Amino acid sequence: MSSQPYDLLIKGGTCLLPHPSDQSLIEQSADIAITDGRIVKIRESINEPALRTINAHGLHVLPGVIDSQVHFREPGMTHKEDLESGTRAAILGGVTSIFEMPNTNPPTTTVEAFQDKLNRAKGRAHANYAFFMGASHDNVAEISTLEKQPHCSGIKIFMGSSTGNLLVEDDDSLEKILNQGSRRVIVHSEDEMRLRERKHIAVEQADPHYHPVWRDVETAVSSTTRLLRLARKTGRKIHVLHVSTAEEMDLLKDAKDNATGNVSAQVTVEVLPQHLTLYAPDCYDRLGTYAQQNPPIREKRHLDRLWKALLDGTVDVIGSDHAPHTREEKDRPYPTSPSGVPGVQTLVPIMLNHVHDGRLSLHKFVELVTVNPCQVFGVKNKGKLRQGFDGDITIVDLKKVKTIDNSWIASKCGWTPFHGMQVHGWVTHTIVGGHVVMEDDQVTMPAQGQPVNFEGTN
């Protein structure tokens, strides 16, 4: 018997546990005990006292979901979002850890700016947090040092769709960055030169239906082709974000060391729920500029190819690319309207609905948002329900039917492109560091998020 009661006991749930001999997951009815923020026991049955017990019979108990691409806008654009509101949205959607992007104001390109974000998150973040450092023309020489800052999730490169010193559009600068440091670099891959040449299409048409025409397939393919060539030349590991085209998936499948999607490979790949769920022209018919994001939502043939890539192992990670803007901003005439949609709160229910519809297995989804992000980014002590690991857990009811509604969205923007969509599968509890921070769509505790630790950082 335990001499002290456990802090938390989760009883009777169907747990997705790591297979003892490989990287796969197995479903097993089990009880999980957590004390001092760590999983201390997983057994078929635990009959010992606990300060808090969750009856998880009929529910699925998952490792805490990680969203490895969010834009929480702090500092500089906190009218759209901040670290408190963004992480509150995260836990309401079952996300226990987030990795936040560097295109804030000022951009996160120095130790001082990075430390400022950590200071801002402390005591305010409802989910665990880490921050990407932005690569720029000004900090190339420091990248090998910057990437080793504690709680840094890696180096982010914008080959297109950014401004100021965060934009790295030329091959010479990109190669210099890839030659600095050793951790995996994550990349927004669109060809900035082609975007500039074709911007007149968006201006002249003044219609969001032309967003994927301006930012066409070649804009993505030419950029990713250049990126792959430079990655091979430098030997640097890269992670290609929000891949949106069938043609890129063909390139990436060929480029990956292992067709089954070995996440230790040199090239890893992310897709978004938006690109797996919405398609043109329907999304622009219904949503107009509220479907506008970069890279764009494209025709259904691309969606179908992304699903094939997800199922054949080309895709390693699902992230949300949560990028909120206010209604006032989104209501501006295209193309003066900003690109980006919120997504951290809807990632899990949207993907659980795809599980319900038979498009992928629950096991596969969980790998893409727990095990794989930890391997891709070198996360310590998260991503698995395993004794000694952090007590971050997402509990879901696969049978629960809900309709996503703007009124549920905690993001400051107050809207979602999935408003009105009925989904099968919903998060019932979010547990961060052993604390039940969300239950039945209600935040139940003050902020409990802690900084995430990584291999290869100080």
Whether the predicted pLDDT of 2 surpasses 90: no
Whether the predicted pLDDT of 425 surpasses 90: yes
Whether the predicted pLDDT of 258 surpasses 80: no
The rounded mean pLDDT for the chain is 96
List, in order, residues 6 or more apart from 32 with CB less than 8 Å away. Answer: 9, 10, 13, 15, 39, 41, 42, 46, 61, 385, 393
Write down the pLDDT at residue 257.
57
As a whole number of angstroms, the distance between CA 343 and CA 443 comes to 18
Write down the pLDDT at residue 161.
83
| In the chain, % of residues over pLDDT 70 | 98
Whether the predicted pLDDT of 332 surpasses 50: yes
Whether the predicted pLDDT of 307 surpasses 50: yes
What average pLDDT does the segment 35-40 reach? 98
- Out of 256-260, 385-389, 396-400, 428-432, pick the least confident: 256-260
Whether the predicted pLDDT of 3 surpasses 60: yes
Write down the pLDDT at residue 22.
76
- The answer to whether the CB of 227 falls within 8 A of the CB of 187 is yes
Write down the pLDDT at residue 153.
98
Write the pLDDT tens digit of every residue in 92-127. Answer: 999 999 999 999 999 999 999 999 999 999 999 999
Write down the pLDDT at residue 264.
58
Write down the pLDDT at residue 261.
46
What CATH code would you report for 65-377? 3.20.20.140
Active site residues: 321
Task: Please report, for the chain, the start and end positions of each structural domain, with discontinuous segments joined by +.
Answer: 65-377
Write down the pLDDT at residue 42.
98
The closest alpha carbon to 258, from 249, 248, 267, belongs to: 267
Q: What predicted TM-score, i.e. pTM, was given to this entire model? A: 0.97
